[in-house]
Structure 1
């Protein structure tokens, strides 16, 4: 069947079948029948126009309430018909529904829509006329459990109204959970149901009623299917030999940049160019089939029209992974789409896996692989970066070098004709040097499959995502409340949080989060302490902790007594711990010792230091590293200042300890983790500390005088 919006009465009947309470009602087509219906149902009644072209009935005079007599019902019928036809002349009016006017209560909205990426989603929020203005909603990708429904209800700001606001009695939350759960199941089970709005649902102290239902059916929608995915064997990302097809000596060509970047590859490297016998001191071959040894990976940098034949040769050679950096495929139109389909068909026939086409390539720094045309190579590190934009990768890699940020893997997904986000996620999930994963996403092909994979990966390693396309520019006007409230970007954000992924608002924040989690792991709870030599920043720390949902925990009496033993009498004697402006590294170190001894009362420690003549930044950084290494809790560096603190910052970087140059950014980052993941029951690092050599050392000459007093 074609798309159809159910009439009010058809919608009520569907809800009634699922045990969802609706008012007594009757559809009428003339004024006399309206009077009979009002008398039969019992006044007061509400009358509403029924038309697929009239979405917001009240706006066109299509709703009249408080009709107390059958005679008024007759007049109301005429009034509604006159206003509706005059204000929306093109409207097809099928009748007017007469229904029992339910007593006033709290109005909420339950809606559903079919998202192109994630399939069916459910929305809950405050309802009524101001729904789009308030935009106080929660969103979930289906299916959801009864507990999920309860969480949706409790996370909106308006939940205080449900609990009972300013002396009012609490509303029936369980009745709302019943409706939300039942409607979610109905929406998921009815494949042909494309979208619905229940607005308002009136919630009482006992019970609830749906008093307006807009349900759109579409026979063209079949049962949702998750396409099967062929797993990518891990060994394809550990090639012993690489061929660059299209390698060139011309600096203006992509094949030149790719081959030059791979000169440091420790395995066998073969340039493929029919016009050369040698390139950069390496023997060149006219075709990959002419290479005398096996080839594990091929980077293809020839024009798009030659790629299908090139893939055929790669298949015959037994290549297991082809990285196609060439553009001009599906993104370029129908001819490009045909070429891409031919390439994939050939690859499948030979069992070759494909990255791209139309991608920057891949970087695996620990293996000496930079199979891209990026002009620079990143340092080895512990963050994997998977991106739908090659330009974003080149920018981030360039930025990472002066920041001393390293990567374990960088993947440009391109058109994802074969390998996509899910495959790369599964690889870095098991990749031993990867400790945190950052994603840059523009669009996901199969959101439900992606959610399954990323949820499982995020349980093992932190996943941070930045999603582009949050602006409203270019978006079509929504045809319903749900369409307006659950825009594409909102659904992505809801899906990410549902999967345990941590959303970031920009690239800088994304990599700050990745660095923090790669070093410190998930925090076990929200109990925060702040250790500082600057009272003003201590005050700000308290403000930011409250703003981002952290708890500045009270110091236990035993801890306070130990601190009193060596700190000046005028120290703050509270958390944040203001150690005073004359604090040197020895004072910081002694406080760290006590916090290491008493790890049971805190979960996150913020170390806040500013430039002073008494604080050697190198020694301070050494002590922060020691503090982090000797506790299972999260330690967050906030060494503030400029050039005078750079020597300390270099040590923190070399030991993979993140530092925040802006205090608020540090609290925002930790708060973002809790907003997405909550407290992690195991806490601490989910992996061993770095095995690579670290530059820090114990500054014994500063620590010696304080050992006795500190303990």
Structure 2
């Protein structure tokens, strides 16, 4: 593949012909020429324009053959009765020609019929589909799945951004539900993976090189142990150029975002002395939150607000301003935004609602035009504002936030934002930032990624989104950022009903969820399935050390917990160390009673004293063949919850001093005292949950997913 050079001139010649003819699709012979130009294997074929010619061509290829209608007006040939397979002799070929033409005329009387394709019939192999499509958010995507009923009924298909790498192509073969079928079942030979990967990579390159190719289907592709050959080609084109999304360069984005998130001076447009007003709440949060920069209240009549000199307009302020927080009615925003532009303010925090989310698209587009004209970045509208804790900055009407840490969170929804604030405060989770994005008229998730990538105060990024305005831009940035810092996303609208709700809530049209799932994974993003899971990941992933290998061991005081923890490992892609090496198994058995169980899980049983937990966990941390530990605690009077928690912290810290640093998570089963123990463990670097075997394992699984995507595991 690396030495193959496509013949782009041949493809251009075909596409120019199609465009000149005013057609929206290629004929099968044209599709074959395009495939051949990119080294995509297709069967021998030719086009007959009469029954005798069809017989002659078929005889020259050797029977059996497949015969198909050639018409730019008939894309779905089977529906039109335009395909006959298994033609066995010359007489049958002549008859098939007449039948196919008659069926085509009956199906669409005015169809332009160019002839009948006579094609060498491919025998044997596994039927798969390789295709490409154009998504409104992600652009060009390449698809792979099982052919026939599996793709149509089970929709067993996976997607990647195009152009795809060979690594991407290999992951596609392993990502479908029927992946095992490609490896050979019931004595069958495995498919030639290299040939399939070549086909996927070349299709993805083809649609990337020629954006006018809107859709491409190779279906079926017959994959065997000797190669992969596309039996049918369908190509749809769209010659209308797409208007690219407005996108500043990354250097400009980072410069503006630094002024917005770390401002030296903030203006509050609509500042108020009246309790209950949004402008009053914003002022209180800025002042009471401890912001050390300069605050400029903006009000058309007041001379002073909350002890600070007020100005009629930002243009009257005799100093530079980095960011302006808007707390005025929607109808007044555009004029004030122009004044901000004239003042050369870097960012506008648009709290007011009444724009795209209510159907006022024109009003929102006016703000976008002003923002671009004056080079002022817009956050919102329809947001709660944002926090940046390293600067004690609470540019929001919500409550001030005071738990500083290294996790940055954002949400598209105000309600979800409040949940983030509440959970973070309740769990004492330190954050570097909490940002509302609302309608995302301008600043969106990839702008935040670019800022947090270079922000020394942020180590993990968690985002809630109902849509991605520019999924490709996000994925390209996320692929780079996720190698440095974990990126977690809660993509709402996973179901049809959820997607409809997202549309009504923000004006966002949710994309196909499988596409989001696959592209986020391709980009190294950890996808959360629920709000709680996103928050748990945001809290737990940053405090877990990166594992050095895949071998996980469960140590539990309750057999039932061990079973559930094992199930959770399977669900989260974790690999238990099995079989346990004989010497390691014997070492564990020295510490547990005869009626306990070594193996994996290691069941020490519930009646054991604290020293048993300490000895087994110490052994698990000490042995280099074990890379992560999952602890299952059972509340007993012999080992009370806080005794267990303190002992575990002691052992983990003791082993850290010896250079043995591994991720450890814990599940605690028991009475209410286990809640205090779980909190103590968490505060000391061990993600622990009372009453749950699933959550701690999900957090460990998320850490592993990030480590794998970044190539950090041995």
Match of 1:632 in 2: 661
Aligned equivalent of 1:198, options 212, 215, 218:
218
Match of 2:120 in 1: 100
**In the alignment, is residue 232 of structure 1 matched against residue 254 of structure 2?**
yes
Match of 2:643 in 1: 619
Q: Please list the CA deviations of residues 205-239 of structure 1 after superposition, one character each: whole Å capped at 9, or x if unmatched.
A: 32332111100122224798995422323354223
2:42 match: secondary structure: coil
Contact persistence 2:163–2:201 (CA under 8 A): no
Range 528-537 or range 666-675, more displaced: 666-675
Range 451-460 or range 378-387, more displaced: 378-387
Contact persistence 1:272–1:286 (CA under 8 A): yes
**In the alignment, is residue 589 of structure 1 matched against residue 614 of structure 2?**
yes
Cα distance change, pair 244–3 in 1 and its aligned pair in 2 (3 A): farther
Match of 1:269 in 2: 295
Match of 1:310 in 2: 336
Match of 2:566 in 1: 542
Match of 1:671 in 2: 701
Shift of 1:427: 2.3
Match of 1:321 in 2: 347
Range 179-188 or range 283-292, more displaced: 283-292
Cα distance change, pair 224–342 in 1 and its aligned pair in 2 (3 A): closer
Contact persistence 2:132–2:142 (CA under 8 A): yes
Shift of 1:195: 0.9
Contact persistence 1:53–1:92 (CA under 8 A): yes
2:482 match: secondary structure: helix
Distance 2:275 2:70 in 1: 68
**Unmatched runs of 5 consecutive residues or more in structure 2:** 1-18, 501-509
Cα distance change, pair 403–642 in 1 and its aligned pair in 2 (3 A): farther
Shift of 1:170: 3.1
Q: Please list the CA deviations of residues 597-639 of structure 1 after superposition, one character each: whole Å capped at 9, or x if unmatched.
A: x141211111111222233323332333444552421111212
**In the alignment, is residue 576 of structure 1 matched against residue 605 of structure 2?**
no
**In the alignment, is residue 72 of structure 1 matched against residue 97 of structure 2?**
no
Contact persistence 2:552–2:575 (CA under 8 A): yes
2:153 match: secondary structure: helix
Shift of 1:113: 0.7
Range 626-635 or range 47-56, more displaced: 47-56
1:232 match: secondary structure: helix
1:231 match: secondary structure: helix
Aligned equivalent of 2:267, options 237, 243, 255:
243
Contact persistence 1:436–1:515 (CA under 8 A): no
Aligned equivalent of 2:550, options 498, 521, 526:
526
* Bigger relative contact order (CA 8 A; separation at least 6): 1
Contact persistence 1:51–1:94 (CA under 8 A): yes
Distance 1:86 1:564 in 2: 78
Contact persistence 1:633–1:683 (CA under 8 A): no
Contact persistence 1:522–1:680 (CA under 8 A): no
Match of 1:704 in 2: none
Aligned equivalent of 1:121, options 128, 141, 164:
141
Which structure 2 residues correspond to residues 271-350 of structure 1 after superposition, within 5 A? Answer: 271-291=297-317, 294-315=320-341, 317=343, 319-329=345-355, 332-345=359-372, 347-348=374-375
Match of 1:690 in 2: none
Contact persistence 1:599–1:633 (CA under 8 A): no
Contact persistence 1:232–1:353 (CA under 8 A): no
Match of 1:439 in 2: 463
Distance 1:220 1:528 in 2: 53
Which structure 2 residues correspond to residues 545-556 of structure 1 after superposition, within 5 A? Answer: 545-553=569-577
Cα distance change, pair 306–578 in 1 and its aligned pair in 2 (3 A): same
Range 500-509 or range 413-422, more displaced: 413-422
**Unmatched runs of 5 consecutive residues or more in structure 1:** 477-485, 685-711
**In the alignment, is residue 18 of structure 1 matched against residue 35 of structure 2?**
no
Match of 2:449 in 1: 425
1:202 match: secondary structure: strand
Contact persistence 1:311–1:347 (CA under 8 A): no
Match of 2:476 in 1: 452
Which structure 2 residues correspond to residues 375-524 of structure 1 after superposition, within 5 A? Answer: 375=399, 377=401, 379-472=403-496, 488-524=512-548
2:688 match: secondary structure: coil
Cα distance change, pair 662–92 in 1 and its aligned pair in 2 (3 A): farther
Range 612-621 or range 526-535, more displaced: 612-621
Range 310-319 or range 357-366, more displaced: 310-319
Match of 2:503 in 1: none
Range 46-55 or range 600-609, more displaced: 46-55
Q: Please list the CA deviations of residues 48-93 of structure 1 after superposition, one character each: whole Å capped at 9, or x if unmatched.
A: 2345565543345332112223332233234334445545678665
Distance 2:78 2:159 in 1: 26
Contact persistence 1:329–1:339 (CA under 8 A): no
Contact persistence 1:386–1:410 (CA under 8 A): yes
Q: Please list the CA deviations of residues 413-455 of structure 1 after superposition, one character each: whole Å capped at 9, or x if unmatched.
A: 2344443322321222233342321111222233333222212
1:144 match: secondary structure: coil
**In the alignment, is residue 57 of structure 1 matched against residue 77 of structure 2?**
yes
Shift of 1:175: 2.5
TM-score scaled by length of structure 1: 0.85
Contact persistence 1:435–1:461 (CA under 8 A): yes
**In the alignment, is residue 650 of structure 1 matched against residue 679 of structure 2?**
yes
Shift of 1:31: 4.1
Cα distance change, pair 354–222 in 1 and its aligned pair in 2 (3 A): closer
Contact persistence 2:487–2:526 (CA under 8 A): yes
Distance 1:680 1:357 in 2: 35
Distance 1:574 1:377 in 2: 47
Cα distance change, pair 78–193 in 1 and its aligned pair in 2 (3 A): same
Range 384-393 or range 40-49, more displaced: 40-49
Cα distance change, pair 589–245 in 1 and its aligned pair in 2 (3 A): same
Distance 1:429 1:306 in 2: 35
Match of 1:143 in 2: 163
Contact persistence 1:529–1:604 (CA under 8 A): yes
Distance 2:439 2:640 in 1: 51
